[in-house]
Structure 1
Amino acid sequence: MRITWLRASLAALVLGLLGLLVAWSGAINVAASSGHWAITDWFLHWVMRNSVDTRSTLTSPREASDPSGLVSAAGHFAAACATCHGAPGIKPSPVFKAATPPAPDLARTAGEWSDRELFWIIDHGVKMTGMPAWPARARQDEIRRMVALVRRLPGMTPAQFDALTGGTARIASAPGLAACAGCHGADGRGRGAPDIPVLGGQKPAYLLAALRAFQDGTRQSAVMGHAASRLSGAEMRQLSRHFAALPGLGAGTGRGGAVNAPHDAAAEQIARIGLPDKELPACASCHTPAKPYPVLAGQKPEYLAARLRQMRGDEKEVDARQSQATMPVIARRIPEEMIDRLAAHLAAAPPR
């Protein structure tokens, strides 16, 4: 029989209709309890590995790991990831172990992936596995810290993981002071981690506004977004008052790490006067006790510098006159070479 375009088209149409009929009939078993055929499981994992290998090579940053923030990464892992993946000393939930496919035990499988591949998986997630994309799309710094933590899981003991989470790993899913203290410390000083700010002595209204912003997504952070999502309004107010009442910021002693920082005239000019030729207002024009902006004196300079760089990357705000969210515009007017110097000066400066 001679094959013609008409016959080929009719055959394709019939096959397509048969496929739709099978799908409509319910004959295909989508139950997670049935698992996959071995060849299906192999094929899906093969496709996934090839996709991750190619796309991570093309898009992941070369510096895909940052071990300087393991405290915050471990706190988030305990709260948001351990339920599926487990953690050192913590078994995954049997509910999620019954998924198809179940989440891998990263203590066994992390070594199968490069840092750039881990970065891509954490950043984008994987379809049809339950692995979500990182919810704060602009926070690559958080992803790099999580890569560093996952890389260390195979050799990490339960005691080491418990120490990273401040002893709260097993109760991290419960909102409240204990869970917050796992990262921020019971004293509100951030447990010495450079990416975790000092909360003690901060303005309670600012802390409350920050929690609300993390909860509704107007301020980007997967770590804080997850933590704040479970808090009620009353709990947010209580936590804000609690941490604000602790000693820390505002003493001008540079408790964040800038003790006895040398005088920097250029940084002081930006802080007190600004740069009129760049339309950069003075930091002191807003960060005063009478205004609802955060206390900077005594904050960790590493944290301040990181926040300024994050704000510089927020291109949504293009005109400070058209929005209350002026910091992205202001941060972009600060010369790059002055960011670390300004952060050190603000952290060590006496309160005004």
Structure 2
Amino acid sequence: MRITWLRASLAALALGLAGLLFAWSGAFNVAASSGHWAVTDWFLHWVMRNSVETRSALTSPRDASDPSGLVSAAGHFAAACATCHGAPGIKPSPVFKAATPPAPDLAETAGEWDDRELFWIIDHGVKMTGMPAWPAREREDEIRRMVALVRRLPTMTPEQFAALTGGAARIAPAPGFASCAGCHGEDGRGRGAGDIPILGGQKPAYLLAALRAFQNGTRESAIMGHAAARLSEPEMRQLSLRFAAMPGLSDSARRVADADAARIVLAGLPDRQLPACASCHTPAKPYPVLAGQKAAYIAARLRQMRGDEKEIDARKTQATMPVIARRIPDEMIDRLARYLAGSAAETAQR
């Protein structure tokens, strides 16, 4: 029989209709309990690995790992990831092990990927596997810290993981406090981690507003968004009051000697339309206390705000800090942060 374009087209149409009829009939078994055929499982994993290798090489940053924030990364992993993947000393939930495909044990599989590939997977997730994209799309700093933690999992002991997350030492005299103390510490000082702010001495109204913003997504952070998601309004109020009452930040904290930074804090830079920090960050106004805060945290927050291009004109929005942060000279970010921190310990690290 001679093959013509008409016959080929009709054959393709018939195959397409047969496929639609099969899908419509419900004969295809979508049950997770049925698993995949071995060839299907191989093919899907092969496609996924090729996609990750190619796209991570094109889009992932070269500095894809940041081991300086393992406390916050481990806290988030324990709260949001260990249910599926398990963790050192923590078994995954049997509910999620019954998924198709089940989440991999990262203590065994993390070594199969390089840092840029891990970054891409954590950032974008993987379709049809249950692996979600990172919900805070602008927080590459959080993803870098998570990459560093995942890289450590194969060699991390249960005791080391428990130490990072606060372990059994955490107590819960108030609703939600144990979870918060795992990262922020029972004294509200952030357990020595530069990416975790000091909460002790902060204004309770500001802490409450921050929790609300994390909960409704107006302030981006996958870690804090997850932590705040299930808190009730009374719990957020209670936590804000508890942490604010702890010793820590103070508007009378001793300043380091830096005339240029002092000028920005007290007078601003009129030629750059940069207002003085002290014009807003005072006890009488609802903005956060900065004096005594960790320099590393202040500098990181200013750089995050500089990248928030959604805020263009400070006169047209109440969210003025992205605009203000972009007016701070690049070379002054770290110096300004150290000046505001004002502690001898942070100053000695310059």
Smaller-chain TM-score bracket: over 0.9
Alignment equivalent of 1:266, drawn from 260, 282, 305: 260
Identical-residue share of aligned pairs (%): 83
SS in 2 for 1:308: helix
1:92 aligned partner, one-letter code: P
The one-character-per-residue Cα deviations of 1:38-70 (angstroms, maximum 9, x if unpaired) are 111011000000000000000000000000000
Report what 1:348 is aligned to: 342
How far is the alpha carbon of 1:170 from its aligned partner? 9.9
The one-character-per-residue Cα deviations of 1:220-243 (angstroms, maximum 9, x if unpaired) are 000000000010000000000000
How far is the alpha carbon of 1:167 from its aligned partner? 1.2
How far is the alpha carbon of 1:251 from its aligned partner? 5.8
2:276 aligned partner, one-letter code: A
1:314 aligned partner, one-letter code: D
Alignment equivalent of 2:302, drawn from 300, 303, 308: 308
Report what 1:289 is aligned to: 283
Report what 1:140 is aligned to: 140
2:308 aligned partner, one-letter code: D
Specify whether residues 175 and 66 from structure 1 end up closer, same or farther in structure 2 by C-alpha distance, changes over 3 A only.
farther
- Cα distance between partner residues in 2 of 1:233 and 1:9: 63
- Do the aligned residues in 2 keep the contact of 1:300 with 1:347 (CA within 8 Å)? yes
- Cα distance between partner residues in 1 of 2:169 and 2:225: 18
Q: Which of 243-252 and 289-298 deviates more?
A: 243-252
How far is the alpha carbon of 1:217 from its aligned partner? 0.2
- Cα distance between partner residues in 2 of 1:168 and 1:131: 29
Specify whether residues 73 and 171 from structure 1 end up closer, same or farther in structure 2 by C-alpha distance, changes over 3 A only.
farther
Alignment of 1:120-269 (within 5 A): 120-167=120-167, 176-250=176-250, 252-253=252-253, 261=256, 263-269=257-263
2:236 aligned partner, one-letter code: M
1:110 aligned partner, one-letter code: A
- Do the aligned residues in 2 keep the contact of 1:188 with 1:246 (CA within 8 Å)? yes
How far is the alpha carbon of 1:279 from its aligned partner? 0.3
Moved segments of 4+, more than 2 Å? 168-172, 251-254
- Do the aligned residues in 1 keep the contact of 2:281 with 2:289 (CA within 8 Å)? yes
**Structure 2 residue runs without a partner (length 5+):** 344-350
2:289 aligned partner, one-letter code: V
- Cα distance between partner residues in 2 of 1:170 and 1:48: 39
- Cα distance between partner residues in 2 of 1:169 and 1:52: 39
1:121 aligned partner, one-letter code: I
TM-align CA RMSD: 1.6
- Cα distance between partner residues in 1 of 2:2 and 2:261: 84
1:318 aligned partner, one-letter code: I
- Cα distance between partner residues in 2 of 1:251 and 1:285: 13
How far is the alpha carbon of 1:2 from its aligned partner? 1.8
Report what 1:29 is aligned to: 29
- Do the aligned residues in 1 keep the contact of 2:311 with 2:322 (CA within 8 Å)? yes
How far is the alpha carbon of 1:8 from its aligned partner? 1.4
Q: TM-score, normalised by structure 1?
A: 0.95
- Cα distance between partner residues in 2 of 1:314 and 1:242: 31
1:48 aligned partner, one-letter code: M
- Cα distance between partner residues in 2 of 1:142 and 1:324: 26
Count how many residue pairs are aligned between Structure 1 and Structure 2: 342
Specify whether residues 123 and 188 from structure 1 end up closer, same or farther in structure 2 by C-alpha distance, changes over 3 A only.
same
- Do the aligned residues in 1 keep the contact of 2:251 with 2:283 (CA within 8 Å)? no
How far is the alpha carbon of 1:348 from its aligned partner? 1.0
- Do the aligned residues in 1 keep the contact of 2:251 with 2:282 (CA within 8 Å)? no
Q: TM-score, normalised by structure 2?
A: 0.95
1:201 aligned partner, one-letter code: G
How far is the alpha carbon of 1:92 from its aligned partner? 0.2
How far is the alpha carbon of 1:4 from its aligned partner? 1.7
The one-character-per-residue Cα deviations of 1:265-300 (angstroms, maximum 9, x if unpaired) are 111100000000000000000000000000001100
1:143 aligned partner, one-letter code: I
Report what 1:257 is aligned to: none
- Cα distance between partner residues in 1 of 2:266 and 2:237: 32
How far is the alpha carbon of 1:84 from its aligned partner? 0.1
Specify whether residues 49 and 246 from structure 1 end up closer, same or farther in structure 2 by C-alpha distance, changes over 3 A only.
same
**Structure 1 residue runs without a partner (length 5+):** 255-259
Report what 1:43 is aligned to: 43
- Do the aligned residues in 2 keep the contact of 1:248 with 1:298 (CA within 8 Å)? yes
- Cα distance between partner residues in 2 of 1:331 and 1:168: 40
